[in-house]
Chain A
Amino acid sequence: MSVDAEDVRRAAKLARIAVKTEELEPLAAELNGILTWIEQLAEVDVEGVEPLTTPNVTQARQRPDLVTDGDIQEKILMNAPDSREGFFVVPKVVE
């Protein structure tokens, strides 16, 4: 598998990171260097092996479905780059 500029454009879109057109080719070369090195995983016989997601956790714990905090609107908004009247402010999303 080899990554081209179009793949990088797609990955950047998925990652929501703006990439200038002239940066696509150099980035493709960079990512290819890393992904080619990762290709060695294809040598490993993984037939019948269960994937390991999280070590030392046999069963996911569930917490009681209870409200344990709230009334902290001010704390939630205190770090917002832009807020008004208790809301986060973003550019218009609905025409």
Chain B
Amino acid sequence: MTDLTRLTLAEARDGLRRKDFRAVELTEAHGAAIAAANGALNAYAHPTPEAALAMAEAADARLAEGGAPDLCGVPIGVKDLFAVEGVPTQAASRILEGFLPPYDSTVTAKLRAEGAVFLGKLNMDEFAMGSSNETSVYGPVVSPWRRKGETGPLTPGGSSGGSSAAVAADLAVAALGTDTGGSIRQPAALTGIVGLKPTYGRVSRWGVVAFASSLDQAGPMTKTVRDAAIFLKSFAGFDPKDSTSADIAVPDYEAALGGSIKGKRIGIPKEYRVDGLSGEVQSLWDHGALKLREAGAELIEVSLPHTKYALAAYYIVAPAEASSNLARYDGVRYGRRAKLAQGDGIADLYEKTRAEGFGREVRRRVMIGAYALSAGFYDAYYLRAQKVRALIKRDFDEAFRQVDAILTPTTPSPAFGLGEKTNDPVAMYLEDVFTVPVNLAGLPAISLPAGLARQGTPLGLQLIGRPFDESGLLALAEAVERDSGFSARPARWW
């Protein structure tokens, strides 16, 4: 039998229906792969092999009856940000140590109802704050990729670094990620997989640990564009429990694939030719554009003049929202509580718990947020950032009058080594220069592998679409995927 961990989601779904293998076999194969790899990669923070087998058995029974949904029996990994009933959920933070949610997030409840098999909770940056998966209380995730001829550990990207490493190393058929400033697309690009951030409002945020509520979206991280289409459909859609969830029908994304892209207008934003863009990323971007033109698309230069201010606006808006969202971690209702000294009062309880419960990057962002929202600074920082945000959105609205989608690189450079950027927060923030504007504007965007850098690790291209046009975006992405013929895989060293 072929190696079951190599299957795409579409192949797994179809094979289960043809009875080529059972969900239990598929799950056991992934469980064995996780057991063999996790010591080296640290992708799973909480593997749940026994619960996975029970879910797989139930899925096999349902598949035998016929008419089971697409995800039935498919083993997936879940980022530690999603509440999963009875399974540790701590957003990779010490402050949520021991927290066992008595409920499922809407996304995991939908997947559970479809019969998907949960292999466990995936490592990530603490509260999704990071671009390298190094801020996690569980320790960093190590990328399955290495530089040519080197053995030094590289980042799998972040914050969804456990998700990207798991999919790239065949430790899950697909994985759930979340994206606040690039946390699905950047790790997908650095590990050679597909990552889609849906339109803000497309996927319910209920039961997903909140970072920055006006930016957060959950999305699929998969081996192919088709897999992203299948996976997204299974958990997208309106949810009355999320007040910003859009009451818009979810189309059959898979049905939109396979068509011609002839006549599609693709925008190339001139402001994305930033300083620090590596030559090889530039040539990969040019090559991707050329391929689209050969396939019949029309290339149009567009202007997004406020691009250079996006990161600065983001690093006010996101910390401000985080400082408010993270106020709930008080050591009273759930999670960790600091040991108190004789005579300590309630304020000491809060301050000591939060000082030892939050890691350095989280403390930094919560303090910046509190500062930016404080009396005397609110107008200069927070209000101004929100106005710049409106201008960034307006730039995209203008561009989408002329084009159907926008093509950019996903990251300015390939994967870097663990520890290389941890002491320079601004250098780390620059990782997200091409992804952050999309979150500020609430648009859908997909990253797909487009080639290898000279160092031997993957690079990604990003396609940005109109609000709620994930179908159009996936169709374009599939055409690019077909043309690029990317098939590189990390050489197994773990």
Q: Which residues of A line the B interface, CB within 8 A?
A: 1, 3, 7-8, 10-12, 14-19, 27, 30-31, 33-35, 37-38, 40-44, 46, 49-57, 60-61, 63, 72, 75-76, 78-82, 88, 90-93
Contacts and interface: CB of A to CB of B under 8 A. Distances in A.
A7 B442 CA distance: 33
Contact of A78 (B100, B308, B316): B100
Interface of B: 98-100, 102-103, 199-201, 214, 240, 243-244, 246, 306, 308-309, 312-313, 315-316, 323, 327, 330-337, 340, 344-352, 354-355, 358, 363-364, 366-371, 374, 377, 380-381, 383-391, 393, 425-426, 440-443, 467-468
B401 to A, nearest CB: 18
Contacts of A35: 368, 371
6 contacts: A41-B381, A55-B214, A56-B200, A63-B240, A80-B332, A90-B332
Nearest to B241: A63
Contacts of A18: 348, 351-352, 354-355
B367 A17 contact: yes
B209 to A, nearest CB: 14
Contact of A38 (B308, B312, B442): B312
B386 A34 contact: no
Contact of B386 (A16, A17, A52, A91): A52
A82 B332 CA distance: 7
A38 B388 contact: no
Nearest to A51: B386
B363 A17 contact: yes
A17 B413 CA distance: 35
Contacts of B102: 72, 75, 78-79
Q: Give 5 nearest A-B pairs by CB, closest first.
A: A55-B442, A51-B386, A79-B334, A81-B337, A52-B390
Nearest to A39: B312
Contacts of A63: 240, 243
Contacts of A61: 243
A55 B393 contact: yes
B323 A15 contact: yes
Given A17-B366, A46-B384, A31 B355 contact: no
B368 A49 contact: no
A31 B364 contact: yes
Contacts of B309: 40-41, 43-44
A88 B334 CA distance: 10
Given A33-B426, A34-B315, A41-B316, A12 B332 contact: no
Nearest to B364: A30
Contacts of A79: 98-100, 102, 333-335
B334 A15 contact: no
A18 B232 CA distance: 42
B103 to A, nearest CB: 8
Given A14-B370, A79-B334, 15 more contacts: A14-B374, A15-B363, A40-B309, A41-B313, A41-B388, A44-B387, A46-B384, A46-B388, A51-B390, A52-B386, A52-B390, A52-B393, A54-B214, A81-B334, A91-B349
Given A18-B355, A90-B349, A56 B390 contact: no
Contacts of B367: 8, 11-12, 15, 17, 27, 31
Nearest to B377: A1
A17 B355 contact: yes
B388 A80 contact: no
B426 A41 contact: no
A28 to B, nearest CB: 11
A49 B387 contact: yes
B371 A3 contact: yes
A54 B348 CA distance: 35
Contact of B345 (A17, A46, A72, A93): A93
A56 B371 contact: no
B218 to A, nearest CB: 15
Contacts of A34: 315, 364, 368, 425-426
Nearest to B306: A44
B390 A49 contact: yes
A78 B351 CA distance: 23
B358 A56 contact: no
Given A10-B374, A93-B345, A57 B390 contact: no
Contacts of B312: 37-38, 40-41
Contacts of B468: 56
Contacts of A52: 386-387, 389-390, 393, 440
A27 B360 CA distance: 10
Contacts of B348: 18, 91
Contacts of B214: 53-55
Contacts of B354: 15-18
Contacts of B426: 33-34, 37
Given A31-B368, A34-B426, A46-B391, A56 B336 contact: no
A84 to B, nearest CB: 13
B449 to A, nearest CB: 28
Contacts of B332: 80-81, 88, 90
Nearest to A10: B374
B380 A1 contact: yes
